[in-house]
Amino acid sequence: MSMLLTIDDLKQRARQRVPKMFFDYADSGALTESTYRANEEDFSKIKLRQRVLVDMTNRSLASTMIGEPVSMPVALAPTGSTGMQHADGEMLAAQAAEEFGVPFTLSTMSICSIEDVASVTKKPFWFQLYVMTDKDFVLNLIDRAKAAKCSALVLTLDLQILAQRHKDVRNGLTAPPKMTIPNIIDMAIRPGWCLGMFGTKRRTFRNIVGHAKDVKDLSSLSAWTNEQFDPKLSWKDVEWIKERWGGKLILKGILDKEDAVMAAKSGADAIIVSNHGGRQLDGAPSSISVLEEIADGVGDKIEIHMDGGIRSGQDVLRALCLGAKGVYIGRPFLYGLGAGGKAGVTTALEIIRKELDTTLALCGKRDIREAGKDMLYRPDRPLPAEKRKAATAKAGK
């Protein structure tokens, strides 16, 4: 793993080791994938200010997210089918995150269950909730997360209906994979992945199978999920979910300023500016392109997080400068998981930490909590004179 120096290096290694249907599941977007691409591309348009002759010693990336201490303001995002990138994937990723000192968020549509992850971690993790029409199942999920001592609930708002992802349809995506001739050939050339899967009992959606009514096998699970995502999800649902949960609540999927205002009034602790990784509304703006507007609008009322398109520590810093208090990485840690299991997830986090630390220093700062717009090169939007003077004086200390 020592020669894998970038997130893209991990991506290419994962492409070699993970069966095509599962690699494509992680590495794809909805319809034309225009929003998926924009999520990455729009970061490169944001330029940083290089500062020199400032004290770069004793730097710190330590911060908080919803009041919890983090070694850097980065969390692992909730990603479905993580355990199909590598055997026991959610459990391994949660352990890597815990050891690194950053939050791990478990998806409702995970392969390893809430209880599986709780059995291998010592500190609380976060749980992401999809709201189904089967409200008894939803209530049970919330109660299971409470029993596992999860410290935050992440409620996803942007998956009331599922957008089509062409790669998944063409690949005939299922978990576990169907034993067709193309799938058998594809898996046969990836013996390491196969050995891992043969050695685990976790190959389907264990938060659902055995917990939801009448879901006992792959065929019934497929039928159930196709009809269960609740298209009537509303702000009223946020109220009863918050009451039932009783803990810290994060709303995921805010991409519009008006929705951000509503979210700030909901009593939630934080919002995630997100377009579901470009996997839902194709043609929507990138997360980073709307972050500043939303942060400026409601950042004094609710904590702002973001996800979508982050592929480096520099991307993390750009998001923090534009108003995010923390960011989530999905594909980067999935690439690491596919490339090398738990060690690969740790490598992904180390890559981002090193890039973030170096970039912070070269921008003239020592504390990540000082990240702000004064660190961005924006000749078309100069800082007000008083802010420019204060920033210059602070940098000179």
The H-or-E segment that residue 188 falls in is helix 181-188
Q: Is 307 annotated as a binding residue?
A: yes
Q: Is 203 annotated as a binding residue?
A: no
Pairing label, strands 126-129, 105-106: parallel
Q: Is 396 annotated as a binding residue?
A: no
Q: Is 276 annotated as a binding residue?
A: yes
Would you say 346 and 336 are in contact if contact means Cβ atoms under 8 Å apart?
Answer: yes
Alpha-carbon dihedral sign for residues 154, 68, 258, 314: negative
The catalytic position among 166, 211, 276, 305 is: 276
Closest CA to 43 of 254, 278, 310, 225: 310
- Plot region of 256 (φ>0 → left; ψ -120 to 50 → alpha; else → beta): beta
Q: Is 269 annotated as a binding residue?
A: no
Q: Is 368 annotated as a binding residue?
A: no
Closest CA to 97 of 80, 116, 72: 72
Q: Is 25 annotated as a binding residue?
A: yes
Q: Is 59 annotated as a binding residue?
A: no
Q: Is 57 annotated as a binding residue?
A: no
Give Cβ neighbours of residue 15 (< 8 Å, ≥ 6 apart).
Answer: 23, 27, 338
Q: Is 330 annotated as a binding residue?
A: yes
Q: Is 248 annotated as a binding residue?
A: no
Q: Considering only the C-alpha atoms of the chain, give the largest distance between any 2 of them, rounded to a whole number of Å.
A: 68
Q: Is 189 annotated as a binding residue?
A: no
Closest CA to 93 of 328, 368, 278: 328
Q: Is 36 annotated as a binding residue?
A: no
Q: What is the C-alpha to C-alpha distance for residues 224 and 10, in angstroms, rounded to an integer?
A: 34
Count Cβ atoms within 10 A of the Cβ of residue 68 and give its class: 0-12 exposed, 13-18 middle, 19 or more buried.
middle
Confirm whether 211 is a catalytic residue.
Answer: no
Q: Is 252 annotated as a binding residue?
A: yes
Q: What is the C-alpha to C-alpha distance for residues 311 and 64, in angstroms, rounded to an integer?
A: 21
Count Cβ atoms within 10 A of the Cβ of residue 164 and give its class: 0-12 exposed, 13-18 middle, 19 or more buried.
exposed
Residues annotated within the binding site for glyoxylate are 25, 165, 276, 279
Q: Which residues are annotated as a binding site?
A: 25, 78-80, 107, 128, 130, 156, 165, 252, 274, 276, 279, 307-311, 330-331
Binding residues for FMN, by number, are 78-80, 107, 128, 130, 156, 252, 274, 307-311, 330-331
Active site residues: 276
